[in-house]
Structure 1
Amino acid sequence: MNNKPKKALNQTLTKMVPAVLTALIATGLGFIALYTSPVPMIQDFGKMLTVGMIISFIAGVLILIPILFTRDHFFKKERVKQKQVKLKNMKGDRFFNWFTNKLILMKWFIVLVAFISAGFGIWADLQAGVETDVEKFMPQDTQELKDIHKLREILGSTDQISVVYEAADVSSAELLEWVDGVTGTVKSEFPETIIDTRSVTTALRQMNEGEFPVNQKIEEYLAEMPESQKKLLINEEGTKGVITLSIEHLEAEELKGFIDDLIDYFEAEELKGVDTTVTGKAVLDAEMVTALTAGRYKMTLLGMGLVFFGLLLVYRHPVKAFIPLLPIALIVGWSGGAMFLLDIKYTPLTATLGALIIGIGTEFTILIMERFYEERKKGRNSNEAIVVTNRKTGKAILASAFTTIGGFSALLISDFVILSNFGLMTLINISLALFSTIVVMPAILIILDRFVKIRHVGENELPVN
């Protein structure tokens, strides 16, 4: 009896741990893509995912496995209970056998439907919008948000863009005339967006009964202007000034388009010897849109590329390195389709879903593939091997997926929209990863099995990876 726990321990350390380590490496490579994001919070998210994954692996090997071995080796009553559990599991095994045999018969149909639907999802994902408005992330019934809306109704705007201009002397008469001109014309150029404009020339006009002063009076008014007010408009060195634009509250895509037009306007109106820069929080929000749209595709493609080359080094076989990524590509497409159908916009959190899909999905697909080829090396044909694989490893993946779903479900009750949407999409993606691994992966393994030559255990030659 005591030999069984030792045998189980040996098989776990020699079979399961290397497979899990391979999945860990692939997952880590997928998360590296998050570090390339220009958004710091996404980079930090990637770091914490990597750290948590490493800690989980170490805890599993150094804590969980010894606990399980101790239980089975020293407590005989527990082993009697295990036998009773095995009898209960026989019904589950019969279901998995029946289910997998059905999958084998429908393998081509499954793969065809999977790739067509994923293609639609990728197309739909390209149409998805991006949300960077912090107000949309907050609980919509909070008093603070209501106060902001009330203040916006009173003032007309709470959003601003700053246009910084630089020159050798920003207080010269010629430059101030240019500032006065663009301060007025920019509002008439964008009447539906710009509510008010303010610059140092606005203050000079107020001091001169609404008229722009000339030559000597400019110097006098600048000297009389309170220093605290003057510092808000030009710097102490007199080399930089700012034009402040109060604007309507715009959606992310509209804001980005307006800022692009504004940059073009100031480039066209720019005075010789003067450099202008459009800046401010609104510009940062617009840059976030670019980072989340172009950045999320780059992160996903980079993550998949890193995983492929990592698996290629491990397996030294391009087909085996490619197989785990096929279900992942499907999940990426399905996820985009789900966001389109649910009308959920990308946020700094949901932009990380591509890398998260690669991390979670790769672990599942590698474990299934490792067990499949282990059964193939024992002499089973591809159909028999996938039946055993789904029956044995499928249940473990189901348990892992359900516990992960349970953990992320807590995000659904968050009052913050950004968190609840992220939780919802994570649950959908984990479910898609589970479906792709249990349903689509077996079909892919059987179809591509002909490209991976296997030497059965016991033959003189080593298995070809």
Structure 2
Amino acid sequence: MARGARHLLGPLRRRWLALGRRARVRPPAAVRRGGRAGAARVRAGGHAALELAVRHPVRVLAVGVALALAGWALDTQLEVESDITQLVPADLRALEDLETLQEASGIGGTIDVLVEGEALGNPAAIGWMVDYQQRVLDRAGFGDERGCGEAAVCPAFSLPDLLAGATQPGQEAVRPSAQAIDALLAAVPPYFSQSVINAQRTKATLSFGISLMPLDRQQEVIDEMRTLANPPEGLKVELVGLPVLAAQANAEVSSHTRRVLTLIAGLLAVALVLLVALRTPRRALVPLAPIVLATGWSALVLFVSQVPLNPMSVTLGVLVIAISTEFSVLLAERFRAERADGLETAAALRRTYASTGRAVRASGITTIAGFAVLVVSDIRMLRDFGAVTVVDLSVSLLGVLVVLPAVLVLSEHPGRLRAGLRELRPRRRQPA
């Protein structure tokens, strides 16, 4: 039976194989020639860069350091885009609903001011809340002529609003007594009053509506509200709510100091791991040299190209350090192995970059190409993230392929570093 089945299926199987062979379409000749030409140009460029680093390592390193210094100086000028309306598609349903809400109500979120104290129902505490609310609204530009649509902050339901019939801001004489406040709060149903003050009268809230704005501007408004608080003795004030958390998180992520400290921490962690694994400071630190310089190059390219950072891309440096360090360590260790086999420095570098360097170059280019796909996204946050990733990985790969050979040459021949530095010094003119 099995032999009969094979006999019946044999012609069908041969037909399928023939169709499969005919379906194999080779790329056009022009495409094949273009691919070979592009690969040849990449190899030629890599070979020229390697020869330049071998012959003039000090000059290559000096140019790299100068560009990195310029990038580090300009890093503080990089823009961080935090406006959610600019980072997501304009036709996103959630964003459209949020904009509709703001057009109808004038607000896009709510900030709550939590007030804690022993007796928040006394006239002094109520008077401070009324005055504080008015100061915040005045600073935000809210008034009869400018409603919620034009002011950064608007009033929302809070304890002063509940007592609005018995108090008037700035007029001490009409503020009610403790008995009047107790009577008014007792007359209000608990399910209504508990949204602004608890039953023990130890916690109360003042709510403010905030318009839709960039997170950095939102943080400025929150800081102004904190500054205006200045509560009297016995009262504790804290700003809470989702807008407060979002603005604080953005401020921490976007902070230049925090970004630099994160990069330094990542480099130190990698250096410590390499020191433990390789056991000698030179073997551990030499591969990191181009990675350190690449952080400055990246900032320089981003500043020149005016590609803004965002909450996603601003933390990308640590990922790039991890990827680039792997490439750098592979090349440095292969170079050490070639030197151990008796090759001279230049020959060891040429063999290293002809073998391992080719694999690193191919891996780096494919990684960059993968992230480059994000550049065509219709979501700006992903598009900018892809652009920043491409820049970071490109300069890191350039550092591994160009600067690392120069650093390896100088680590093997420290005398060339001293001689090269002497050549770079401006020569004094001899008197006529």
Distance 1:320 1:280 in 2: 50
Judge which range, 425-434 or 358-367, deviates more: 425-434
CA–CA distance in structure 1, aligned partners of residues 353 and 399 of structure 2: 12
Match of 2:155, SS state, is: strand
CA distance change for structure 1 residues 208 and 253 in 2, over 3 Å: closer, same or farther? closer
* Secondary structure at 2:207 match in 1: strand
Taking the aligned partners of 1:324 and 1:435, their CA distance within structure 2 comes to 13
Residue 406 of structure 1 deviates from its aligned partner by: 3.1
Native 8 Å contact 1:130 1:289 kept in 2: no
Q: Is 2:166–2:175's contact at 8 Å kept on the other side of the alignment?
A: no
Deviation sequence 1:115-166 (CA, Å, 0-9, x none): 1111111122122233444333311233432332233233222133221100
- Cα offset for 1:440? 1.4
Q: Who is 2:324 aligned against?
A: 361
Residue 220 of structure 1: CA displacement? 2.6
Q: Select the residue among 242, 257, 262 that pairs with 2:205.
A: 242
Q: Which amino acid aligns with 2:163?
A: L
Provide the residue aligned with 1:441 in structure 2. Answer: 404
Alpha-carbon distance between aligned partners in 1 of 2:45 and 2:237, rounded to the nearest angstrom? 69
Q: Which residue of 2 aligns with 1:336?
A: 299
Q: Tell which deviates more after alignment, 386-395 or 222-231.
A: 222-231
Correspondence 1:289 to 2:250 = yes
Unaligned runs of 5+ in 2: 1-38, 142-150, 416-432
1:159 aligns with 2:109: yes
Runs of 4+ in 1 over 6 A off after TM superposition: 89-95, 207-211
What is the Cα deviation at residue 245 of structure 1?
A: 1.9
Do the aligned partners of 1:132 and 1:288 also contact (CA within 8 Å) in 2? no
Superposed, 1:244-323 pairs within 5 Å as: 244-267=207-230, 270-292=231-253, 293=255, 294-323=257-286
* DSSP-derived class of the 1:235 partner: coil
State yes or no: 1:389 paired with 2:352: yes
Structure 1 distance, partners of 2:118, 2:321, is 53
- Which deviates the most, 113-122 or 150-159? 150-159
Gap change, CA 1:247 and 1:311, over 3 Å in 2: same
* SS of alignment partner, residue 309 of structure 2: coil
- Cα distance between partner residues in 2 of 1:122 and 1:400: 28
Q: Match for residue 315 of structure 2? A: 352
**Structure 2 match to 1:204:** 163
**Structure-2 residue corresponding to 1:398:** 361
Q: 1:206 to 1:282 in 2, by over 3 A?
A: same
Contact kept, 8 Å, 2:123 with 2:175, in 1: the verdict is no
Deviation (angstroms), 1:445: 0.9
Task: State the Cα deviation string for residues 226-282 of structure 1 (Å, max 9, x = none).
Answer: 333312211233211111122343433333333223222212xx1221111122222
Report Cα offsets for 1:387-439 as digits up to 9, x if no partner.
11111111101111122123323323333222222122112222222211111
Letter in 2 for 1:155: S
8 Å CA contact retained: 1:96, 1:387:
no
Query: Aligned residue for 1:112?
Result: 62
Deviation for aligned residue 1:307: 1.3
Distance 2:40 2:383 in 1: 39
Which of 99, 102, 110 aligns to 1:149? It is: 99
Q: CA deviation at 1:212?
A: 5.8
Percentage of matched positions with identical amino acids: 28
TM-score by structure 2 length?
A: 0.76
Measured against aligned partners, the alpha-carbon deviations of 1:290-329 in whole angstroms (never above 9, x if no partner) come to 3212332222111111111222222222222111111111
Q: What is the DSSP-based 3-state SS (H/G/I as helix, E as strand, rest coil) of the residue aligned with 2:199?
A: coil
Paired residues of 2:110 and 2:241 also in contact (CA < 8 A): yes
Asked if structure 2 preserves the Cα contact closer than 8 Å seen for 1:331 and 1:357, the reply is no
Q: Is the 8 A contact 1:204 1:213 kept in 2?
A: no
Deviates more, 1:342-351 or 1:364-373: 342-351
Counterpart of 1:220, as a letter, is A
Q: CA RMSD in A?
A: 2.8
What letter matches 2:235 in structure 1? V
How much has 1:208 moved relative to structure 2? 8.5
Secondary structure at 1:116's aligned position in 2? helix
What TM-score do you get using the length of structure 1 for normalisation? 0.71
Distance 1:342 1:284 in 2: 32
**Unpaired stretches in structure 1, ≥5 consecutive residues:** 1-88, 453-465
What secondary structure sits across from 1:205 in the alignment? coil
Match of 1:139 among 86, 89, 107: 89
SS at match of 2:206: strand
Q: Return the alpha-carbon distance in structure 1 between the equivalents of residues 73 and 41 of structure 2.
A: 42
SS in 1 for 2:164: helix
Does the aligned pair in 1 maintain the 2:58–2:406 contact within 8 Å? Answer: yes
